[in-house]
Amino acid sequence: MDFFDRFAVPHPSFLIYASMVAIGLTVIAVLVGITYFKKWDYLWREWLTTVDHKRIGIMYLISALLMLFRGGVDAIMLRAQLAIPDNKLLESQHYNEVFSTHGVVMILFMAMPFIMFFFNFVVPLQIGARDVAFPRLNAISFWLFFMGAMLFNISFVIGGSPDAGWTSYFPLAGNDFSTSVGSNYYMIAIQIAGIGTLMTGINFITTIFKMRAPGMKLMQMPMFTWSALISNLIIVFAFPVLTVLLAMGTMDRLFDTKFFAIGDGGSDMLWANLFWVWGHPEVYILILPAFGLFSEIISTFARRNLYGYKSMVASMVVISAFSFFVWAHHFFTMGQGALANSFFSITTMAIAVPTGVKIFNWLFTLWKGKIEFTTPMLYAMHFLPLFTLGGVTGVMLAMSAADYQYHNTMFLVAHFHNVIIPGVVYAMLGGLTYYWPKMFGFMLNERIGKWTVWLMSIGFVLAFIPMYITGLDGQARRMYTYSEATGFGPLNMVAFIGAGIMAISFALLVYNIYYSVRYSPRNIGNDPWNARTLEWATHTPVPEYNFAVMPQVKSTEAFWDAKKNGHEIFKGKIEKIHMPNSSGLPFIMSCIFFVFGFSMIFSIWPLAIISLLGILGCLVYRSFEKDHGHYIPVEEIEETETKLRGAK
């Protein structure tokens, strides 16, 4: 087949052509802007080659916000299509592509980099470290994720998007039913990004175990650091399953193996089992850091230490263990038998118990607290009832017999979003608002922030509560249209209006950033929230080395104790500090990975072999490279400290 025929989108439409034009104009505008303002050297020196965990975290944040916009546009398109009966806005094929990519983008390319942002920016500061354990590995982790995301996102303008759902079940994802390269994009782009995520898991487990500040025991770590540790442990156990699964799927599509074929010794259920062996722990990779963020926010603005520290840690450990024993509830309806259904029904309901423990711990933290309703706290307050509703409907779905009624309906769609949006998105946006002043030296506007929270919650309720009702009435998910006789029209219109209000709330968040950049005061100090943990004890902006003197920790809230009880956490004198050197190798290697992935997707074998040799060449070069980092002299540190103290 001619390559240009393969590059063409198989089901073009006006919206796809408009997207092509928009992408082209955006790329040209960015390149012209960088050239006009002469920022190529700055971009290479300060960002593309950086190994600073803080800058890498901010790049994760930028990626997550871009993907939030992309996934949000998909969501609006889906709700617009279903707003009225017999709508012709999207054809069936285009609808399949949109909901398939919406799920992948939001879970893997929006939510995952958002939590990676918090891991990178917050964890080293919370544990009193100067960097992560493996700075180069951290850089290649980000760039592999980023190249995987970009590779996936060009699919709908070059070759066609995946159209087999975000779960990409076989045989639907096989060559017989998915004849375009869309499912190739799915297999290879997610593989590249997933390798980066697995590296991140290894890096942060090592960082937390080996680089804590002197005196900080495991049971003295802040709750967010605990959630990061447990989430990364899940990553290390779950993501190798995804890596193998995607490799098998790639071989089925490119080399006609039969791992997931219905005949020839393969099994389509093998994909379903392996996907959810990874997929359900993935949900907890997202939700546990969110729990950690809410714990930090609630204790800060309730002006109380977190209630039940040990039980909070224990509940996260139990949740992480249980997360590997619930995967089959995703296919109760696939005929696996009463015994298997009963086992997974029990484990699914049991996982609600440690989650409930955390809800009560947060409520007891609020009890008799001196609550300050800041924007981050407002996100936490809205999270509690909305997430509890999502948990209750999850228990309904956990009943295998009842699941036959609920499973393939909009009820399941409503439940999933009822957990992920209040549980993850609210935590990400609340945490972003909370840590914004530590990143950039000014606060986001509180009034606009509170309007954002309320609009988001109103929109959320209007968007997803109607789906519970239409789902119970029989509206099937993944259906691109319905007849007027079903009676689903009015509630779907309400859901569309709710989605529109949520879109307005996200636009308000963007406006808040713009407004705050222009008008927010800069003299906010190092600790504008009167917080409790160690990341607020360093300067704003945070210097390259994080802490001039390593902190000495004796409690779970060392900074709070230092402020209220006079504990000294920075003892000793300033000494020279060893830091890693920047390197362009991670970025260059990830670009070669992008070329390798693209050539594999389109079966351009000579280019695939050349790029694979390029990857191996980078690895060989690194193995012989002698780079021992550099030292920051005492004089430079003292000068920086004096300047930062004077800025306050």
Answer whether 445's CB lies under 8 Å from 511's CB: no
In the chain, % of residues over pLDDT 90: 85
Interatomic CA distance for residues 190 and 181, integer angstroms: 14
- pLDDT tens profile 381-412: 999 999 999 999 999 999 989 998 999 999 99
Angle (nearest 5°) at CA 353 between 351 and 355: 80
Show the 3-state SS of 12-50.
CCHHHHHHHHHHHHHHHHHHHHHHHCCCHHHHHHHHHCC
- pLDDT tens profile 425-478: 999 999 999 999 999 999 999 999 999 999 999 999 999 999 999 999 999 999
Instruction: Give the mean model confidence (pLDDT) for residues 596-610.
Output: 96
The pLDDT confidence band at residue 23, using thresholds 50, 70 and 90, is: confident
Which domain does 129 fall in, by range?
53-296
> Would you state the pLDDT for residue 110?
96
The whole-angstrom distance between residue 116's C-alpha and the CA centroid of its chain comes to: 7
- pLDDT tens profile 168-185: 999 999 999 999 999 999
Q: 183, 202, 26: which is closest to 96 by C-alpha?
A: 183
Any domain includes 363: no
Q: Total structural domains in the chain?
A: 1
In the chain, % of residues over pLDDT 70: 99
153-157, 334-338, 476-480, range with the lowest pLDDT: 334-338
The pLDDT confidence band at residue 2, using thresholds 50, 70 and 90, is: low
Token pair listed for 313: 């840690």
- pLDDT tens profile 337-359: 889 999 999 999 999 999 999 99
Any domain includes 171: yes
Any domain includes 586: no
C-alpha distances (whole Å) from 400 to each of 326, 342, 375, 409, 476 are: 12, 7, 39, 15, 18
Look up the CATH number of the domain holding residue 212.
1.20.210.10
Residue 111 carries which DSSP code? Answer: I
The pLDDT confidence band at residue 3, using thresholds 50, 70 and 90, is: low
Residue 212 carries which DSSP code? Answer: P
Any domain includes 65: yes
Interatomic CA distance for residues 2 and 416, integer angstroms: 42
Any domain includes 548: no
The pLDDT confidence band at residue 647, using thresholds 50, 70 and 90, is: low
Any domain includes 387: no
> Would you state the pLDDT for residue 334?
84
Instruction: Give the mean model confidence (pLDDT) for residues 316-330.
Output: 94
Give the DSSP H/E element, type plus range, for residue 106: none
Any domain includes 172: yes
**Buried/exposed code over 543-575 (b: 16+ C-beta within 10 A; e: otherwise):** bbbbbbebbbbebbbbbbbbbeeeeebeeeeee
> Average per-residue pLDDT in the chain?
94
> Would you state the pLDDT for residue 5?
73
In this prediction the pTM is 0.96
Answer whether 287's CB lies under 8 Å from 419's CB: yes
> Would you state the pLDDT for residue 56?
97
Any domain includes 292: yes
Does 73 have pLDDT greater than 50?
yes
> Would you state the pLDDT for residue 270?
94
Does 81 have pLDDT greater than 70?
yes
Q: Could you tell me whether strands 577-579 and 630-632 are parallel, antiparallel, or unpaired per DSSP bridges?
A: antiparallel
Answer whether 362's CB lies under 8 Å from 384's CB: yes
Instruction: Give the mean model confidence (pLDDT) for residues 129-151.
Output: 96
Answer whether 539's CB lies under 8 Å from 526's CB: yes
The pLDDT confidence band at residue 50, using thresholds 50, 70 and 90, is: very high
The pLDDT confidence band at residue 1, using thresholds 50, 70 and 90, is: very low
- pLDDT tens profile 514-531: 999 999 999 898 999 999
